[in-house]
């Protein structure tokens, strides 16, 4: 029987040789944790049924837990408008951001 380590094993990738750009990009991504054991969960696949909605399938990295499930990710509000808006997309502007935007557009007195 293998010796037990005090910490659960982490998810690893076989291709450890990554450029520094990819490493910094990965650090900026959202970290998903397991709802049961609070360890890291890895995205396995995702679907994008609409431009503002994703279905993400994730798996807990803790082999003692083993949870897997689906996360629903939605673009809920706009905090800063796009400079290249798609007029087919309607994501409501957050109330505080809307107030600031309207103040910026108002004529100065």
Query: For residue range 35-71, what is the model confidence (pLDDT) as tens digits?
Result: 999 999 999 999 999 999 999 999 999 999 999 999 9
Provide the CA 32 distance to its chain's centre, in angstroms: 7
Which 8-state DSSP code applies to residue 78?
B
Residue 103's pLDDT band (boundaries 50, 70, 90)? Answer: confident
User: What is the percent of the chain where pLDDT is above 90?
Assistant: 50
**C-alpha triplet 50, 48, 98: angle, nearest 5°:** 50
Angle at 25 between CA 22 and CA 29, to 5 degrees: 135
Q: What is the DSSP letter of 26?
A: H
Q: What is the distance between the alpha carbons of residues 11 and 42, in angstroms, rounded to a whole number? A: 8
State if pTM tops 0.85: no
């Amino acid at each position: 029987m293998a010796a037990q380590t005090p910490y659960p094993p982490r998810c690893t990738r076989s291709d450890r040789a990554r450029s520094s750009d990819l490493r910094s990009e990965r650090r900026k991504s959202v970290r998903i944790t397991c709802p049961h054991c609070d360890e890291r969960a890895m995205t396995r696949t995702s679907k994008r049924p609409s431009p503002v909605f994703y279905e993400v399938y994730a798996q807990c990295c803790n082999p003692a837990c083993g949870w897997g499930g689906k996360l629903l990710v939605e673009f809920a509000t706009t905090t800063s408008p796009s400079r290249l808006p798609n007029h087919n997309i309607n994501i409501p502007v957050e109330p505080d951001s809307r107030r600031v935007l309207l103040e910026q557009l108002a004529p100065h007195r």
